[in-house]
Structure 1
Amino acid sequence: MLVKTIIVVIFLGILYSLGSGLYFLLKDEKGEGRTVQALTWRIGLSIALFVLILIGIATGVIQPHGLYPTR
């Protein structure tokens, strides 16, 4: 249950970072580079999520089941 919570929190962070990047792209007139910083955070969080899922599968904490799990 803890792993699922961590995955959801990271995914929400990715969505927040993506939204803030879009907001800064549209509304930031000063050109302070906040768009690049937000999108850099998104890339970092995406990589962290991918690595966390791979580690979870490798250690057996997450068990992939495919599209049609057997019953």
Structure 2
Amino acid sequence: MLQKLIIVAFLVLILYNLGAGLYYMITDKGQTNRTVNALTKRIALSVVLILLVVLGIWTGVIQPHDLGR
């Protein structure tokens, strides 16, 4: 259950940074680097989430389900 909460927390942070990037893009009109920083954080969080899922599957903490084959 903890693994699911961590994944959901990462997804919420990713969506927050995506929204922040959109907000900064609209309000700053290219005057600051806040949009780039927010989108860079989003990409970094996405990469970390993917690596954590791969590590969890590799160590056996996360077990992917079979699709009925």
Instruction: Give the fraction of aligned pairs with identical amino acids, expressed as a percent.
Output: 52
How many residues in Structure 1 have an aligned counterpart in Structure 2?
Answer: 69
Q: Runs of 5+ in structure 1 lacking a partner?
A: none
TM-score, scaled to structure 2: 0.90
Match of 1:60 in 2: 60
CA displacement 1:4-58 (0-9 Å, x = unmatched) = 1111101100000000000101111461100000000000000000000000100
Q: Distance in 2 between matches of 1:45 and 1:63?
A: 22
Q: Distance in 2 between matches of 1:21 and 1:69?
A: 40
TM-score, scaled to structure 1: 0.88
After TM superposition, where is structure 1 displaced by more than 4 Å over at least 4 residues in a row?
none
CA-based RMSD of the aligned residues comes to: 1.5
